[in-house]
Chain A
Amino acid sequence: MDTRGKVLFVDDEINILKSIRRGFLHAPFEVVTAESARDGLRILEESCVDIVVTDYRMPDIDGFQFLKMVKERYPEVNRVILSGFIEKSVAVESLTRGLASTYILKPWLNDDVEEKIDHILSMRKALKSKKLLGIINQIENLPHLDNLYQEFMEAVNEDKSMDTISKIIQKDLSIATKVLQVANSAFYGLKNCTSIKQAAVTLGLDTLQDILLTISIINTMKWNVTQMNRLQEIFLNAFIMNSHLPQLHKFTPEAHFYRTFPSVGLTYDVGKVLLLQYFPDRYASVQKYAQLRSEKDFYECEVDLGFHEVTHQEVGAFFLDYWNLPQIFIETALFHHTPESSSSQYRDITSITHLIDALIYELRMEKDPDPAVYEHPHIPAEVIQETILSIKKKLTKSIFSDQQK
């Protein structure tokens, strides 16, 4: 049978592994199993695995430790955590920490697991499609995300002190200066922060994390003045998205599992940033086409112009994956115009991103969004109405106070 990929299941209970083997007997992927993290690592060493699914509670090396090792040694392998139903918060934490791309709760349903694995495999396929790689390969040097951000996130996740966290940012003076510039911009209400630590305390770590991610992304590429204006526009959208996404996501049933909400709003449209940098002609042509068709958004115009499967969604997701950001970032970027294709796990986030993106787009075109069109099963209508007003206000502000140079 032609299999779409190989999935390694790790669990210290043999009966679980056996039930999984028989449960996926006819599944379109190959199943291999290991009774411990050590065995799992051996299998990863010896053969080519696409996805590992590991139990959380195991003797010796537990699921978290194992996933961390896999992430370091085999970053290309997708990671899934399998944990007890009552440990759901643990499962969600593994997502926000970027250790796992999704979770499965015990007791599980075979169909559910199959759907999740299938989704990951097809996503991997989409991000490795010949058509997309053909585009990516035209970029001479792939932009590399400064590992300062990863280091910072690691420290935040491990609850390190403000001092330690501030010191990480201060390692790079140019980044530290820019963090302060943004922290003191009109967008954040001109706080007059003079040190990173002060910025961390007055703005909060979540905001600092947002700023750092933004700057890291901008820093991966070089910008000229004309591009800078477009870039500002994209990032203002991103900042607006990032401030409204958690506010609306609050209303979804899963919201309380998120101890901190990751800054996925910032990168949902990162594909546009990359297109602007590396394919400015294509970007301009799509924009020109869009200007004549106000009923269509950027994505629809890209599809019209024959960029299906290589739109800014795929390009953005490719790089977020390449930069090793958590799955939630990749899903949001990859499906923010097509939320129905995202995995059920992230459907709420992608659909809300889609909603906010559409609002921003309409408001930028100076249209009045019809509240009746913007409905969401979990979000009250008046909240959406408030969001519209708030976005309208924010569109007039600037994020980069004096950074146009």
Chain B
Amino acid sequence: MVNSNLHTYVRSERSAVSFDFNSMYRDFFHASPEMILISSPDMRILDINRSGLMLLGYDSKEEFLSLLKMGKIYQNPKNMVKWKQIMEEKGFVKEFEATLVKKNGQLIAAHQTSCTIQDTEGGVSAYVSVIRDVTEIMKHKMQVHKMNVDLIDSLYTLRRNQPKLIQQEKLASIGQLAAGIAHELNNPIGFISSNFTSLKSYIRIIKEYIHYFETETSQMAEGSASSVRQLQEHMNDFKENEKLHYIFHDIDDLVNESMEGIQRITEIVRSLRNFSRIDNESELEQYDINDALESTLTVAKNEIKYVAEVEKEYSHVPLIECVGGEINQVLLNIIINAAQSLKSQKREQKGRIGLKTRADDEYVYCEISDDGPGIPKEIIGKIYDPFFTTKEAGKGTGLGLSISYDIIVHKHGGDLTVESRVEKGTTFTIKLPIEWRTGKRN
């Protein structure tokens, strides 16, 4: 039916407009929301529907048909040649990409899907093309493409900068550590050096006293000087003037307190050495997490001591096979975060930082908790994201937790989890396998 109609249609080529169309098909043809174009094998345009006229911006079919040649609606005539080639070879084409020109010169990106209408002898009588405007889609596609390129670009930049950033985070924590340690050293060095200055003057006074005593007694022995009683009076005067009683009494305290100070400095330096493991930064070792927590506390003391009391609940846990320097970095990071969150509350009383260790057959667990402000639900999912930080600009790199997560989860095959309630506090749990599993390191 259709075929025979079209057959007749093609036969009466020149009078296409007046062709006697079955009204139903005509309605279908014109009501179609897609542009439909009928063209002859020699590339003349035979008919176009209303959607087509609208899309290309023509007022009437007559105006459009006066174009006649199909080549005029393509921006690039080569497009048409290629389309014709395909049609002649295959007889159809699906979503052929072409750029069409509107009446006002505007360009349209289009997909042209065409089929061949054959006459009774099997020759080509016409081509029917459904042409869809994909300009908007193409625009989006371009955008997506551009975004993709940008993304790949930033991913590449990120990858390239990653070692640098990790280094920066390390430097930032080293800087923070250095400042903290300097503070911790200021006091003992301060009083030790002051004590030594005092000791020097004490010794001078005591020497003078002995010297005075010696000269007086030797003069007495020669019989040239005053009585024992007079000597005693002089000596007492001397004592009074130079506060010798105080000095005699104080000199032991001075030495003991200074020793205590030296002990403190030694402890700090020892922890620091333990902590930084300058000698074997990335080597596996047998690691005692309780010891490590103690060293970390010494190193971070300056951040903690004014804001929190530390409650320890260490269990007897097995040694872990791990890269100690890296785990230390994680412990320090989480403990300092806890201290800083407590500090940010500006609370009346000190907060609490809890350190708890335990173990099962396979894993050692370390819980670090605080009763600070807690992490709001909205951001808890982001805390391991690189560059996410709640600290003011310039205060945090936003990499601490993301690096910690990487160290525990990816490098050591453990787990780092967090539980938090706003205004109640936060608990981080570090879970580390007791035995090193090979192949986890990348």
Known A-B contacts A57-B183, A86-B182; A16 and B190 likewise in contact (beta carbons under 8 Å) = yes
Select which of B193, B198, B257 is within 8 A of A107 by beta carbon: B193
Asked whether B197 lies within 8 Å of A23 as measured between CB atoms, the reply is yes
Number of interface residues of A (CB under 8 A): 22
Q: Give, as a whole number of angstroms, the nearest-CB distance from B342 to chain A.
A: 13
Q: Give, as a whole number of angstroms, the nearest-CB distance from A110 to chain B.
A: 5
| Bound-complex Cα distance A57 to B197 (A) | 24
Q: Which residue of the partner chain B has the closest CB to A1?
A: B241
| Bound-complex Cα distance A16 to B247 (A) | 17
Q: Give, as a whole number of angstroms, the nearest-CB distance from A2 to chain B.
A: 13
Known A-B contacts A19-B191, A107-B189; A25 and B198 likewise in contact (beta carbons under 8 Å) = yes
Chain A residues contacting B193 (CB-CB under 8 Å) are: 107-109
Select which of B179, B191, B192, B246 is within 8 A of A13 by beta carbon: B191
Q: Give, as a whole number of angstroms, the nearest-CB distance from A60 to chain B.
A: 8
Contact with B along A9-40 (1 / 0, CB 8 A): 00001011011101101100000000000000
Asked whether A86 lies within 8 Å of B183 as measured between CB atoms, the reply is yes
Asked whether A110 lies within 8 Å of B194 as measured between CB atoms, the reply is yes
Chain B residues contacting A58 (CB-CB under 8 Å) are: 306
| Bound-complex Cα distance A22 to B350 (A) | 33
Asked whether B257 lies within 8 Å of A26 as measured between CB atoms, the reply is no
Contact with A along B220-245 (1 / 0, CB 8 A): 00000000000000000000001100
Asked whether B250 lies within 8 Å of A22 as measured between CB atoms, the reply is yes
| Bound-complex Cα distance A23 to B198 (A) | 5
Does A143 sit at the interface, judged by CB under 8 A? no
Known A-B contacts A84-B182, A85-B182; A23 and B243 likewise in contact (beta carbons under 8 Å) = no
Asked whether B186 lies within 8 Å of A15 as measured between CB atoms, the reply is no
Asked whether B183 lies within 8 Å of A109 as measured between CB atoms, the reply is no
Chain A residues contacting B192 (CB-CB under 8 Å) are: 19
Q: Give, as a whole number of angstroms, the nearest-CB distance from B346 to chain A.
A: 12
Residue among A18, A19, A84, A86 with the most chain B CB within 10 A? A19
Does B8 sit at the interface, judged by CB under 8 A? no
| Chain B contacts with A in 145-191, Cβ cutoff 8 A | 179, 182-183, 186-191
Q: Which residue of the partner chain A has the closest CB to B350?
A: A59
Chain B residues contacting A167 (CB-CB under 8 Å) are: none
| Chain A contacts with B in 79-113, Cβ cutoff 8 A | 84-86, 106-111
Known A-B contacts A26-B243, A57-B306, A109-B197; A18 and B182 likewise in contact (beta carbons under 8 Å) = no
| Bound-complex Cα distance A18 to B250 (A) | 10
| Bound-complex Cα distance A107 to B196 (A) | 12
Select which of B187, B197, B246 is within 8 A of A16 by beta carbon: B187
Asked whether A19 lies within 8 Å of B179 as measured between CB atoms, the reply is no
| Bound-complex Cα distance A111 to B247 (A) | 19
Range of interface residues on chain B? 20 to 34
Q: Give, as a whole number of angstroms, the nearest-CB distance from B61 to chain A.
A: 68
Chain A residues contacting B195 (CB-CB under 8 Å) are: 19, 22-23
| Bound-complex Cα distance A59 to B306 (A) | 5
| Bound-complex Cα distance A111 to B196 (A) | 12
| Bound-complex Cα distance A18 to B254 (A) | 8
Asked whether A106 lies within 8 Å of B190 as measured between CB atoms, the reply is yes
Q: Give, as a whole number of angstroms, the nearest-CB distance from B440 to chain A.
A: 40
| Bound-complex Cα distance A58 to B187 (A) | 12
Does B260 sit at the interface, judged by CB under 8 A? yes
| Chain A contacts with B in 44-85, Cβ cutoff 8 A | 57-59, 84-85
Residue among B191, B197, B201, B253 with the most chain A CB within 10 A? B191
Known A-B contacts A19-B257, A22-B250; A13 and B182 likewise in contact (beta carbons under 8 Å) = no
Asked whether B194 lies within 8 Å of A20 as measured between CB atoms, the reply is yes
Known A-B contacts A59-B306, A107-B189, A108-B190; A25 and B243 likewise in contact (beta carbons under 8 Å) = yes
Chain A residues contacting B247 (CB-CB under 8 Å) are: 25
Asked whether A15 lies within 8 Å of B183 as measured between CB atoms, the reply is no
| Bound-complex Cα distance A228 to B192 (A) | 59
| Bound-complex Cα distance A109 to B194 (A) | 7
Chain A residues contacting B246 (CB-CB under 8 Å) are: 25
Does B261 sit at the interface, judged by CB under 8 A? yes
| Bound-complex Cα distance A57 to B190 (A) | 14
| Bound-complex Cα distance A111 to B200 (A) | 13
Asked whether B190 lies within 8 Å of A19 as measured between CB atoms, the reply is yes
| Bound-complex Cα distance A22 to B195 (A) | 8
Known A-B contacts A23-B198, A85-B186, A110-B197; A18 and B243 likewise in contact (beta carbons under 8 Å) = no
| Bound-complex Cα distance A57 to B304 (A) | 13
| Bound-complex Cα distance A84 to B193 (A) | 14
Chain B residues contacting A19 (CB-CB under 8 Å) are: 190-192, 194-195, 198, 254, 257
Asked whether A84 lies within 8 Å of B183 as measured between CB atoms, the reply is yes
| Bound-complex Cα distance A107 to B197 (A) | 12
Chain B residues contacting A109 (CB-CB under 8 Å) are: 193, 197
Chain B residues contacting A25 (CB-CB under 8 Å) are: 198, 201, 243, 246-247
Chain B residues contacting A107 (CB-CB under 8 Å) are: 186, 189-190, 193-194
Chain A residues contacting B257 (CB-CB under 8 Å) are: 15, 18-19
Q: Give, as a whole number of angstroms, the nearest-CB distance from B384 to chain A.
A: 32
Asked whether A15 lies within 8 Å of B182 as measured between CB atoms, the reply is no
Chain A residues contacting B186 (CB-CB under 8 Å) are: 84-85, 106-107
| Chain A contacts with B in 385-400, Cβ cutoff 8 A | none
| Bound-complex Cα distance A25 to B261 (A) | 21
Q: Give, as a whole number of angstroms, the nearest-CB distance from A88 to chain B.
A: 12
Asked whether B179 lies within 8 Å of A86 as measured between CB atoms, the reply is yes
| Bound-complex Cα distance A158 to B250 (A) | 45
Chain A residues contacting B260 (CB-CB under 8 Å) are: 15
| Bound-complex Cα distance A111 to B182 (A) | 23
| Bound-complex Cα distance A320 to B396 (A) | 42
Chain B residues contacting A108 (CB-CB under 8 Å) are: 190, 193-194
Q: Give, as a whole number of angstroms, the nearest-CB distance from B300 to chain A.
A: 15
Identify 28 residue pairs between A and B in the complex whose beta-carbon atoms are under 8 Å apart, listed by A's number: A13-B187, A13-B191, A15-B187, A15-B188, A15-B191, A15-B260, A16-B187, A16-B191, A19-B190, A20-B194, A22-B195, A23-B198, A25-B243, A25-B246, A26-B243, A57-B306, A58-B306, A86-B179, A86-B183, A106-B189, A106-B190, A107-B186, A107-B190, A108-B194, A109-B193, A109-B197, A110-B194, A110-B197
B residues near A, CB below 8 A? 179, 182-183, 186-195, 197-198, 201, 242-243, 246-247, 250, 253-254, 257, 260-261, 305-306, 350
Question: Other than the known A19-B190, A85-B186, what 13 A-B pairs have Cβ atoms closer than 8 Å?
Answer: A13-B191, A15-B260, A16-B190, A16-B194, A18-B191, A19-B194, A22-B194, A25-B246, A25-B247, A58-B306, A59-B350, A106-B189, A111-B197
Q: Top 4 closest A-B pairs, CB basis?
A: A19-B191, A107-B190, A19-B194, A106-B186
